[in-house]
Amino acid sequence: MPVWLKYRPQVGNCVASLSTKVIIDSDVARGAPEGFAVAQGIDIFSVKDLLRLEEMAQQMAQFAQQGQRKALIDTGHKVVKQEEKEP
């Protein structure tokens, strides 16, 4: 399975300054297809899957509050690596 997120410091990269409106608009635009995808696929998940997702979200929130960006990104990588090992 591919790794979708990779932690890289923003060294040498130009980052645009975005207005609040642009950020909110992009979040709204992204939220519609994400919500649709969840609604379409929710029946595929087992209770175990949903509990694992909830645990992962709590762990990611803790890392975010602590400013541990690399650990936040690595949380997703660990799940992907674990799924590659499972049959």
Q: Other C-beta atoms within 10 Å of 74: how many? A: 16
3-state secondary structure of 45: coil
* Mean pLDDT confidence for 23-40: 88
Global pTM? 0.52
* Mean pLDDT confidence for 34-55: 90
Task: Name the helix (H) or strand (E) containing 78.
Answer: helix 69-85
What pLDDT, on the 0 to 100 scale, is given for residue 40? 92
> CA 46, CA 51: separation in Å to the nearest integer?
9
* pLDDT tens-digit series, residues 58-77: 999 999 999 988 888 888 77
3-state secondary structure of 46: coil
What pLDDT, on the 0 to 100 scale, is given for residue 47? 93
